[in-house]
Amino acid sequence: MGTSQEVEMIRKTVTVVALGLISLTACAGTPESKPVAQQQESVVALKIAEIDDLGPVVTDVEGFTLYRFDGDKPNESTCDGECAATWPPATVADENFTVEGVDEVGSFVRKDGSRQLTVDGMPQYRFAKDVKPGETKGQGLQGKWFATGKSGERTQLAARTGVIAGLGAVLTNSAGLTLYRFDGDTAQPPASNCDGGCAATWPPVYVEGEQPRVKGVDPKLLGTITRKDGKKQLTVANWPQYTFKNDSKPGEAKGVTVPKWFATATTARRPSRTRRSRSPVRPSGTSGSSPPTPTG
């Protein structure tokens, strides 16, 4: 009798212990039950760095400048093969990444299956010849590759300084063509009165991004106006800036022979020395036509 009671007590004890172990196992859960966000931390893919002359540009996490290609389309890369060897795509392992100070960031899957980063829809690349952070050796190459601004815009100098024979120190665009101001415009408030056929003869100097940059000019003198077509035009000391369609290469300033048009001095003033006499301008290629000497 006593023996059967002992057996029954042992059986009950074993049952309780087994139930306890099952309960503990259920409470412990499994690693797979953890949220994905807790299993894998996101990585910083893009940052912003201040580059001389260009201002804030997008870089990868190592500080290398990133570029955009005018031959691409939003979320579509046309740079493969040898192009991609020269311009390695900026890629991430997956969509679990973060950025610091960069707007409108996304990604898409390339033909080879890798995931490439985009800023404002434009695919991002490094340049193989940039060997250390902060270099911008790819800037402006082929007229289609530009360092990326924080909102995806091209970053480039709106203008630079140069010296032209007979005029002295003037402003030029990034290609070295002379910049002009028009007495038919207004500076207070800044406004352009050159549209239609006038703008075809005197192309406005456009600006991308928030703040125009001109090497060798006080940033306080620089600004923009919004034209009727919605584009931003460079202003210097509130005067809208233009090039002249008949200036075909650096060193030419044929526009100063036209009434009311003056080459823009680096001081942003209109001194008499930036207005040539009305004597005929020597044809291109003669000894009297010399390219501007950069001062910046």
d(CA 264, CA 93): 50
Task: Kindly state the tokens that stand for 182.
Answer: 């028009």
Per-residue pLDDT of the chain (296 residues; tens, 9 = 90+): 455 555 455 455 545 444 444 444 444 444 443 343 344 566 789 999 998 778 889 999 999 999 999 999 999 999 999 999 999 999 999 999 999 999 899 999 999 999 999 999 999 999 999 999 999 999 989 889 999 998 899 888 888 888 888 888 899 987 889 999 999 999 999 999 999 999 999 999 998 877 787 777 888 889 999 999 999 999 999 999 999 999 999 889 999 999 999 999 987 666 444 454 443 333 333 334 444 554 44
Residue 115: φ, ψ to 5°: -105, 115
- Tell me what pLDDT residue 244 has: 98
Contact 54, 139 (CB under 8 A): yes
Q: What is the pLDDT of residue 120?
A: 95
First to last CA, the chain: 109
CB 43 within 8 A of CB 99: no
Rounded to two decimals, what is the model's pTM? 0.61
Number of other residues whose CB lies within 10 A of the CB of residue 33: 7
- Output the pLDDT for position 103: 87
d(CA 124, CA 75): 10
CA distance linking residue 169 with residue 296, whole number of Å: 11
Q: Residue type at 257?
A: T
> What would the two tokens of residue 102 be?
């960069």
Q: What is the largest CA-CA distance in the chain?
A: 135
Question: Structural domain boundaries of the chain?
Answer: 43-155, 160-294
Q: How far is CA 241 from the centre of its chain?
A: 22
CB burial of residue 46 (10 Å; 0-12, 13-18, 19+): buried
Residue-wise pLDDT tens digits, 69-115 = 999 999 999 999 999 999 999 999 999 999 999 989 999 999 999 99
Q: Indicate left, alpha or beta for 210 from its phi (over 0: left) and psi (-120 to 50: alpha).
A: alpha
